[in-house]
Structures are given as structure tokens and as C-alpha cells.
Amino acid sequence: MKKVLIICGTGVATSTVVAAKVRDHLAEKGIGATVAQGKVMDLVGGDVDADLIVATTDVPASVTVPVIRALPLLTGMGQDEVLDEISRALS
């Protein structure tokens, strides 16, 4: 099963909103994946246990896992495109 890591500055506020939207979308599309939340400082070492990162903040350049910018999931503008990009990345 694929693992998606939702990252924001503190791992609490915006990541919770984004995680709920991603979970709902993946369930709707029948895509099996676990969704976890974290803070950007969790990524500093570069060793990330995830197949995809969905981030509301900048991610360190040392991270080699694919990253999708999640701001549209907070604003609603471009949300469908980002959700489709997440689906494609996990397929």
C-alpha cells in the first residue's frame, strides 16, 4: 500500500485540512493508500518513509520523494487539478 505524507509547518493545522481532503479523494477513487501528517522539520534529515509528499510549505531540497504543492487544497482554487495529480502519482 502506498504512503502519502501531508506536511505543513507544524504538522497540525493545515495538514489536518489537507489530509482529510486527500483521504476522501483517495477513497472516492478507490486508491489504497495510508495518509499520515507531519511537520516540515520531520523532513530535514532527508530520510522520508513515504511514496508521495503533499506539502503546504516549502520542502527541503534534500528530500528525494516526489512533492505536490497543496496550497490549492486550502484555497479551493485549482483543487481538482491537485487531487488528480495526487491520484496519478499514486497509480
Residue ranges of domains in the chain, CATH in brackets? 2-90 (3.40.50.2300)
The single residue of 5, 6, 7, 8 carrying the catalytic annotation is: 8
> Cβ neighbours of residue 82 under 8 Å, at least 6 residues apart?
68, 69, 70, 72, 73
- Does the pLDDT value for residue 18 go beyond 90? yes
Cβ(25)–Cβ(83) under 8 Å?
A: yes
Q: What is the pLDDT of residues 39-91, one digit of tens each?
A: 999 888 777 889 999 999 999 988 999 999 999 999 999 999 999 999 999 98
Whether pTM exceeds 0.75: yes
Q: What is the pLDDT of residues 21-43, one digit of tens each?
A: 999 999 999 999 999 999 999 88
- Does the pLDDT value for residue 13 go beyond 90? no
* Residue 85 buriedness (CB in 10 A; 0-12 / 13-18 / 19+): middle
**9 flagged as catalytic:** no
Count of alpha carbons within 13 Å of 16, Cβ hemisphere only? 4
